[in-house]
Amino acid sequence: MAGLAQCQREAEEVTELMKQNFARALERDGRLSDLDTRAQELCAMGKAFTRSTRAVAQQQRRGHRRWRLAAIGLIAAFLLLLALGLAIWLSRPAPTIVTLTVTVPPPTPSGGGE
């Protein structure tokens, strides 16, 4: 009977170890579930971050494009005004040079003979 008691004690020890192993497995499963949930949340946050950075980058490109177009417009307007001013300046009539010839009669002798 001593052998039977020893076998039962060993069976109880094995049963206890199995219960502990099962409890640890349940804990690990809970932790794995938490980690999986956190990983999914991080993935969703990463996707949202990627979308927002793309939107911000697109807005910046639009802003730079607007400034570039405004600068090109201003330069074009300046060049147009410069060309218009040059065209007006070149199309004005050339100044005419007027030559006046004045004939001065020779001085008459004042002598009284006439």
Tokens (6 digits) for 106 = 């020779």
In terms of phi and psi (left: phi > 0; alpha: psi -120 to 50; beta: otherwise), the region of 112 is left
- What gap in Å lies between CA 73 and CA 82, rounded to an integer? 14
pLDDT digits (tens, 9 = 90+) for 5-57: 888 999 999 999 999 999 999 899 889 999 999 999 999 999 999 999 999 99
- What gap in Å lies between CA 42 and CA 50, rounded to an integer? 12
pTM above 0.85, yes or no: no
Residue 65 predicted with pLDDT over 90? yes
Q: Determine the pLDDT at residue 34.
A: 92
Q: Determine the pLDDT at residue 1.
A: 66
Report residue 98's pLDDT band, with 50, 70 and 90 as the boundaries.
confident
